[in-house]
Amino acid sequence: MMNDILQFKMFKTVAVGLLIISSNVLSSGYKFPDGFMFGASTAAYQIEGGWNEDGKGENIWDRMTRSRPELISDRSNGDVACDSYHKYKEDVALAKDLNLKCYRFSISWSRIAPSGEVHKLNPLGIAYYNRLIDELIANDIVPLVTMYHWDIPQYLQDLGGWVNPIMSDYFKEYARVLFSHFGDRVKWWITINEPKETCKGYSFNGYAPYLHLNQTGYYMAGHTQLIAHSKVYHLYNDEFRAKQQGKVSLSVNGFFYVPKDEQSQDDVDTAERANQFERGWFSHPVYKGDYPPVMRQWVDKKSKQEGRPWSTLPTFTKKEIELLNGTADFYALNYYSTRMVKHGSDADVNYNPDAEFETYVDKSWPVSLAPWIIAVPEGFKRLLVWIKNEYGNPPVIITENGFGDNGTLNDFERISYIKSHLSAALRAIHEDECNVFGYTVWSLLDDFEWMNGYVYRFGLVSVDFNNPQRPRTLKASYGFFKKVVATYGLDDSSSTTHSLKLWLNIFFCLITMYSIYIFYILPR
């Protein structure tokens, strides 16, 4: 009997070892699928500058950074930023040299319609984006256009902004202008970037317009954005899709949450609840028509405990549910980091009061200079699998993923971060059959990073913000990413070197397997 047990343990050890070996051998040869859309992302306020040129109107970031500069870490603003308004051809040339398939940028609403109202358009603003789109297409780069990346015109904010339901109609008419002027060439549209972050500007003094409307503002701003997105999607379906043949979605962001204790069912349940609050909030309605049931349950419960006459989470009408359901032609995913969670509401740690989860980090996880970005590539892979299982394996493009540092040109930490996350995406594609078709790194250029100004740098290309000419300098990560795009993989070494790496990989796996057997299994 003891010999049988020992033989079983030996068999299990060998099986685990072979699994480790096969996993490493296969992953080292993985390639991205043919036609994979490699790209880079930017946003209008963060790179354009020209804040009041050629008829552009004032937006909420113009107002906040100029009237309350103390709110920005280095008291800076986006008045000039990277000066891409004037240097867009240089930026397109950088994208061309990278051999990018697509370039994701956003359109400044107030550059198109200075007040946000479409009965008064700015022809010079429309002309600028026509020039940019034409320049991209002339260089065989697909424009991936975000309609709204946090810069609502100030006039519309004075009307209440995203907590005013009428904003959904203003946004729909703004989208009509974009489809009409650019849709003959733009085939990939993102209506709203990271609506959850927009909500923070209406709730917890997170971003412009820097309001503190608590949970009420938080959920109301999200509700209006979702309805606005659905109206734009159906506008495209009804009036433009047949002729323009494009695709429409919205970009969803957030941490991915894993159980603090993987063996604890309570932690497992808490992680799932946290993910529904984080990503299900904006994914569930466009794929299933309504908020996640667990989100509805917990917010309603908390509102009742607080003695409110109604829930802080608004309710969709039956018609709105029908309009929302199925309003994503692809899943646009922004990911930077992962957190561990457990059930609780300790004010001394990061926690969500409605969903009652506390967040933690593993001390072994590498932290970037930008403290919210902690490298957890395995969390990225798990998130891709979660999306696959939750929403029926939709086509996914990673619209943001990047690393913040101090601007060094030898940005090897960024290379490590990007490489590890691309590797995680490859494994999700090949091992889990996740339908990932693109990756756009954040960001092409160092830029204005919202409340942190120019403290953190995310670009593959350095921008000298102290020089009025805003010269660009390539970083080490630029060269790394260029090789990835050229080879559709993460290993462009010679076949001899590649084979040596594989055999070394096998050797170290065998050593690991033997060590596990000698020091862990045999003594038992």
What is the SS3 assignment for 90? helix
Three-state DSSP at 249 gives strand
Q: Which residue, chain included where needed, has tokens 């070394």?
A: 504
Find, among 167, 158, 203, 130, the residue nearest to 57 by Cα: 158
Q: State how far the alpha carbon of 379 is from the alpha carbons of 27, 333, 345, 451, 491, in Å.
A: 17, 14, 23, 26, 22
Catalytic residue among 356, 390, 400, 449: 400
User: Euclidean distance between the first and final Cα of the chain, in Å?
Assistant: 14
196-205 core/surface letters (b: 16 or more CB in 10 A; e: else): bbbbbbbbbe
400 is an active site residue: yes
Tokens representing 332 are 């646009």
Does 443 sit behind a cis peptide bond, omega within 30 degrees of 0 on the bond before it? yes
Contact residues for 369 (Cβ-Cβ < 8 A; gap 6+): 404, 405, 406, 456
- Burial class of residue 383 in the structure, from the number of CB atoms within 10 Å of its CB (0-12 exposed, 13-18 middle, 19+ buried): buried
Residue type at position 206: G
CB atoms within 10 A of CB 219: 25
What type of residue is 356? E
Residue at 109: amino acid letter: W
Looking at 194, 272, 358, 449, which residue is catalytic? 194
CB 236: neighbour CB atoms within 10 A?
23
Which whole-number Å values give the CA distances from 193 to 148, 160, 197, 251, 509, in the listed order?
6, 19, 9, 5, 43
Instruction: Say how far apart CA 190 and CA 172 lie, in whole Å.
Output: 13
Contacts of 137 (CB under 8 A, 6+ apart): 143, 185
Cβ burial, residue 58 (10 Å; 0-12/13-18/19+): middle
- Whether 356 is catalytic is no
Q: Which residues pair with 259 in a beta bridge?
A: 341
Active site residue ranges: 194, 400
